[in-house]
Amino acid sequence: MESILITGVCGFIGYHLAHRLLEEGSHVVGIDNMNPYYEVALKKSRLSLLEESQGFSFVRGDLGNRPLVEGVFEKNRFETVVHLAAQAGVRYSLVDPYIYAERNITSLLPLLEGCRKREVRHLLFASSSSVYGEHGSMPREGNAFAARAFSAHDSVDHPVSLYAATKRAGELICHSYAAFAGLPVTALRFFTVYGPWGRPDMACYRFTRLILEGRPIDMYNFGKMRRDFTYIDDIVEGVVRIMSKPPVCDPSWKDSRPDPATSAAPFRVFNIGRGKPVELLRFVEIIEKELGKKALKNFIPIQPGDVTETFADTGDLTRVTGFAPEVPLEEGIRRFIRWYSEYHGV
């Protein structure tokens, strides 16, 4: 029986993607090490809901465990693999850099070897908008921005955080397997995902919790950060549509004018984002309105590794799949607040 493998299945995006695929009748095998970067209880809650489906199988363990990964590939015939497992967090990469190299780079190799040996039809690799660094933001005088959307066709070889560097390294390693092994790989650059069952360390969840507890919110860059907040359902829809479109070699690709988004190998890069950056202050205002409570704000400078703005060019995604993210920010936050209230009994 053909199956879909999802790594990081108990994570935010992994849970939602698995839930969607299971609802559509797919057989999903999920791997997760349940690491305690944030509350394991939340991961266990997601897992318990997935285990209600007969089409779901779970394997607990590290991708760096080669025998474990080899055993998973021996027992299953995967048509598609979605690699979402990673050590997340830009700022935490300044605290524990070694774990990023281990979980985001070294642990990728057993998975790629499994895909190569079993001739997987399509591997999707979760990258990040962090790989773009600062090159898309062009501040003018005052607080205005002459923003240019981040395009997958731009060069991204100047990361400003270790997390971003490991994600870019992962893209390059995946490309090497596409080149020498003919493994079709698509790298997906996600832009600031939010929504129900989200990560507690991310803005929407963290701000909601702090406002309700009456504690101050740290507003980095004095609140002038801009993020391309993308609702989780839009992320999943983009992933599902791309799953059925494994990349092929681009015959027009040239060394003299290399296009970073395509390749002479079966490799492709897509952005998945809403394409409408929002200032952090506006984001907080919407949460305040939904909660009916004002936030205490602590305005502080930008932190090392952070970028002032993210802004997705999703033209390629729409041209190839016919899909463009569409959930308005106000509606997405409303859905998140409703889930948060139910989950935490607020």
Catalytic residues: 163
For the record, the structure tokens of 117 come out as 């040996």
| Secondary structure of residue 31 in the 3-state scheme | strand
Residues 6+ apart with CB under 8 A from 119: none
Write out 103-144 in H/E/C secondary structure. HHHHCHHHHHHHHHHCCCCEEEEEEEHHHHCCCCCCECCCCC
Residues 6+ apart with CB under 8 A from 78: 2, 3, 4, 5, 29, 115, 118, 120
269 DSSP β-pair partners: 187
- The residue count of the chain comes to 346
| Secondary structure of residue 36 in the 3-state scheme | coil
* Cβ proximity of 33 and 60 under 8 Å: yes
- Closest by CA position to 302, among listed 242, 221, 182: 221
344 DSSP β-pair partners: none
Place of tokens 């002032």: 308
- Closest by CA position to 315, among listed 325, 307, 306, 305: 325
Cβ-in-10-Å burial (0-12, 13-18, 19+) of 345 comes to exposed
Rg of the Cα trace of the chain? 20
